[in-house]
Amino acid sequence: MTTDQDTPLGDPSGQSAGQEQVVISVDAMGGDRGPEAVVAGCARTVSENAHISLLIHGDEAILKPLIARQPALAGRCTLVHADGVVTMDDKPSHVMRHGKATSMWSAISALKSGTAQAVVSCGNTGALMAVSMLQLRRMKGVNRPAIACLWPSRGPHGFSTMLDVGADIKAEAEDLLAYAIMGATYFRNGFGDALPRVGLLNVGTEDHKGRAEIKAAHELIAANQDFGRYTYVGFVEGSDIPSARVDVIVTDGFTGNIALKTGEGTARLVGDMLRESFKSSFLAMLGAGLASGALKRLSARIDPRRVNGGVFLGLNGTVVKSHGSADAMGVAAAIALAAKLAQSGYHGRMAERLVIAAKAAQDAAQDASPASAHPTTPQTPPGAAQNGETE
């Protein structure tokens, strides 16, 4: 699966003629805007993507009339009744014990059973991760799954990927290595880039900076770049996230989530300030009118709805977490992203690399001799993808 910079992974506007059919399981009851926004997003998705069918999970009494008002959904979706709803205030542990009747649990069960190829939910992030881990389990070699997001950048593809952006606030060196491999595989399959450039987020680019686990991860990620099929550019700073220097930014979930929310807030601030400036005088409004085409392109370029959807990487299944505040456009983007990932076949290649990288990290940790301070790159096993193959 290859896209260009004008049609990123999450953009629902791409044509789908001739693509293989895919079924996406949607939790319709989560999210701040309620099921109306989710159902409208589902309708937008199927009207723009002929290869996508949907399982819509939630309260039948609420969803049935909403679906009936969307002609595009006729014959393109199946309503799966679920009484319960996971709220934003529910604790993940409570949902794991008592959430089997919820729409979120039902949506993930459809993926586990093979009825659907991916899941999308706007609901509680912690609960979604907990239930996904409980039902789908982690991939071998993954201690902590990660959430990956797309970020507008000056790079050749127009976007970079950052992970983790909120699945777990902690990450050891071995976890950061797994994030590098998962992020590179995700980016490679999403944008057709044979060797994504991976950077490790730090407080500076000098080798002596950072916490102990960051320095250890620096060594591990560098040692595994040939096997992981990425180019390691070393430490990167926050200013590098939207730059042309890096494609995949690796960090822990605490730092990544703060960076993500800061970026989104800054984009909204700049947009509001521009609108205020263009309304400040007659000449400013005239200038805005003359530049309307360029402003619309800029607005679309930085609109977070176009790339809505954080992907849970490291699970035995494709789960996409949409923003809780997503509107119909955002929901449609998340569903389209889930469909593209489900069809890409990236899971098998990612799983193979993770297992061997985890073994290499364990060997490196056990070897304390000065002569072996730098872990060796593991050999590619029989059957693994070679550098000339396409992922």
User: pLDDT exceeding 90 applies to what percent of the chain?
Assistant: 46
How far is residue 159's CA from residue 241's CA, in Å, rounded to a whole number?
10
Greater pLDDT, 379 or 332: 332
What's the confidence (pLDDT) of residue 1?
Answer: 39
Residue 212 pLDDT greater than 90, yes or no: no
Residue 234 pLDDT greater than 50, yes or no: yes
Residue 41 pLDDT greater than 60, yes or no: yes
pLDDT in tens, 72-103: 999 999 999 999 999 988 899 999 999 999 99
Helices (H), the chain: 35-48, 60-68, 92-98, 103-113, 125-136, 173-191, 212-223, 225-228, 253-278, 282-290, 292-302, 328-344, 346-366
Which whole number is the average pLDDT over 117-123? 94
Which whole number is the average pLDDT over 187-191? 84
What's the confidence (pLDDT) of residue 377?
Answer: 46
| Confidence category of residue 291, pLDDT binned at 50, 70, 90 | confident
Residue 143 pLDDT greater than 90, yes or no: no
What's the confidence (pLDDT) of residue 12?
Answer: 47
Residue 299 pLDDT greater than 80, yes or no: no
The CA-atom distances, in angstroms, between 207 and each of 204, 236, 310, 373 are: 8, 11, 30, 15
262's CB contacts (< 8 A; 6+ apart) are: none
The ranges assigned to domains in the chain are 22-276+286-352
What's the confidence (pLDDT) of residue 84?
Answer: 93
Angle, helix 173-191 to helix 328-344, in steps of 10 degrees: 90
* Cα torsion through 127, 131, 133, 134, rounded to 10: 140
Q: What does the DSSP assignment read for 207-237?
A: TT-S-HHHHHHHHHHHHTHHHHT-EEEEEE-
Q: Can you tell me whether residue 25 is helix, strand or coil?
A: strand
What's the confidence (pLDDT) of residue 342?
Answer: 86
Residue 215 pLDDT greater than 50, yes or no: yes
Q: What is the 3-state secondary structure (H, E, C) of 82-126?
A: CCECCCCCCCHHHHHHHCCCEHHHHHHHHHHHCCCCEEEECCCHH
* Residues facing residue 313 across a β-bridge: 146
Give the least confident one: 102-116, 307-321, 354-368. 354-368
Residue 369 pLDDT greater than 90, yes or no: no
Residue 3 pLDDT greater than 50, yes or no: no
| Confidence category of residue 24, pLDDT binned at 50, 70, 90 | very high
Q: Which of 74, 70, 28, 21 is nearest to 49 (CA)?
A: 21
State how beta strands 77-81 and 231-236 pair. unpaired
| Confidence category of residue 161, pLDDT binned at 50, 70, 90 | very high
Q: Can you tell me whether residue 76 is helix, strand or coil?
A: coil
User: Tokens representing 236?
Assistant: 């990167």
Give the least confident one: 1-10, 183-192, 315-324. 1-10
Residue 306 pLDDT greater than 80, yes or no: no
CB 202 within 8 A of CB 236: yes
| Confidence category of residue 294, pLDDT binned at 50, 70, 90 | confident
What's the confidence (pLDDT) of residue 367?
Answer: 66
What's the confidence (pLDDT) of residue 227?
Answer: 79
Mean pLDDT for the chain overall: 83
How far is residue 212's CA from residue 172's CA, in Å, rounded to a whole number?
9
How far is residue 185's CA from residue 202's CA, in Å, rounded to a whole number?
22
Residue 16 pLDDT greater than 70, yes or no: no
What's the confidence (pLDDT) of residue 340?
Answer: 87
Q: Can you tell me whether residue 251 is helix, strand or coil?
A: coil
- Among 135-139, 288-292, 359-363, 366-370, the range of highest mean pLDDT: 135-139
Class of domain 22-276+286-352: alpha beta
Q: Which of 146, 139, 138 is nearest to 252 (CA)?
A: 146
What's the confidence (pLDDT) of residue 370?
Answer: 54
Residue 197 pLDDT greater than 90, yes or no: yes
Place of tokens 């049609």: 7
